[in-house]
Amino acid sequence: MKNRIFILIGPPGAGKGTQAKNMASLKDFVLISTGDLLRENVGKKTELGNTAKSYMDKGELVPTDLVARMIKANIEQNIGKNGFLFDGFPRDLAQNTLLSDMLEEFNLDIDKVIYIDVKDEVIFERLTNRRICPKCKRVYHMRYNPPKNDELCDDCKVSLIVRDDDKIDVIKKRLEVYHKLTQPLVDYYEESGKITKINGERAPKEVEAEIIANM
């Protein structure tokens, strides 16, 4: 069976990670979140993680060759499964070319791009209150989607953490990078007709229902 290829795109804080975890388990897709993979490498202090950290802490994109290595290994390991869901990749037009080349090698193509649209003003409030589970990567918001028990993950019961890059200055930089480098990719996908735009400024369940209806 041919793998299906889905991409989740949108500004930082749009809710990609929140939705990606549900979508992947519902459709039994392999989830490839470059942000999660990079943070895992940072946590383990691998060579890749140490290099990536200096870019991530500043809110800049990590060099594409580092991301490419991670992605390629992941695709190779999981080829033949139901499908892939990419969260946070591709991030610019060059990464899109890289992905197309990699998919071509496996005779695959992008099926659909889901674009979660959220305004910059909403993003600051979301990201300054975000917490993540360091173990399962589940995403919480201390007001909109709080854990049941203080600051513990509902599933893993380990202490939630604040991401190193969820600081006002770094959030500003990440938004700048998004508008400069990722927005042109959204425009490009719009021309290809493969993109579905979803209003991300609604309750997570409503966003989820619309995404699923479009998968």
21 included as an active-site residue: no
Q: Is 134 in the site for ligand ADP (CB under 6 A)?
A: no
Q: Is 59 in the site for ligand ADP (CB under 6 A)?
A: no
16 included as an active-site residue: yes
Report the residue closest to ligand AMP, judged by CB.
35
Rounded Cα–Cα distance for residues 212 and 215 (Å) = 5
DSSP 66-85: HHHHHHHHHHHHHTTSSEEE
Smallest distance, Å, CB 16 to ligand AMP?
7
Which residues, listed in sequence order, are joined to residue 145 by a DSSP beta bridge? 141
Residues lying near ligand AMP in the complex (CB under 6 A) are found at: 12, 34-35, 38, 55-56, 59-62, 67, 88-89, 91, 95, 165, 174
Name every residue whose Cβ is closer than 8 Å to that of residue 205 and which is 6 or more positions away in sequence.
none
Among ligand AMP, ligand ADP, none, partner that 13 touches (CB below 5 to 8 angstroms by kind): ligand ADP
Rounded Cα–Cα distance for residues 62 and 8 (Å) = 19
130 included as an active-site residue: yes
The CA–CA distances, whole Å, from 49 to 31, 37, 53 equal 20, 9, 6
Q: Helix, strand, or coil here: 87?
A: strand
Q: Is 16 in the site for ligand ADP (CB under 6 A)?
A: yes
Listed residue (115, 83, 95, 90) closest to 5, CA to CA: 83
Q: Which of 39, 126, 130, 131 is the catalytic position?
A: 130
Q: Helix, strand, or coil here: 142?
A: coil
157 included as an active-site residue: no
Binding residue (CB under 6 A) for ligand ADP from 115, 140, 178, 189: 140
Q: Is 61 in the site for ligand ADP (CB under 6 A)?
A: no
Smallest distance, Å, CB 58 to ligand ADP?
17
Rounded Cα–Cα distance for residues 125 and 128 (Å) = 6
Smallest distance, Å, CB 67 to ligand AMP?
4
Smallest distance, Å, CB 14 to ligand AMP?
10
Q: Is 49 in the site for ligand ADP (CB under 6 A)?
A: no
User: CA-CA-CA-CA torsion for 104, 105, 108, 109, nearest 10 degrees?
Assistant: -20
The catalytic site residues sit at 16, 91, 130, 163, 174
Binding site for ligand ADP (CB under 6 A): 10, 12-18, 126, 129-130, 139-141, 144-145, 200, 202-204, 207
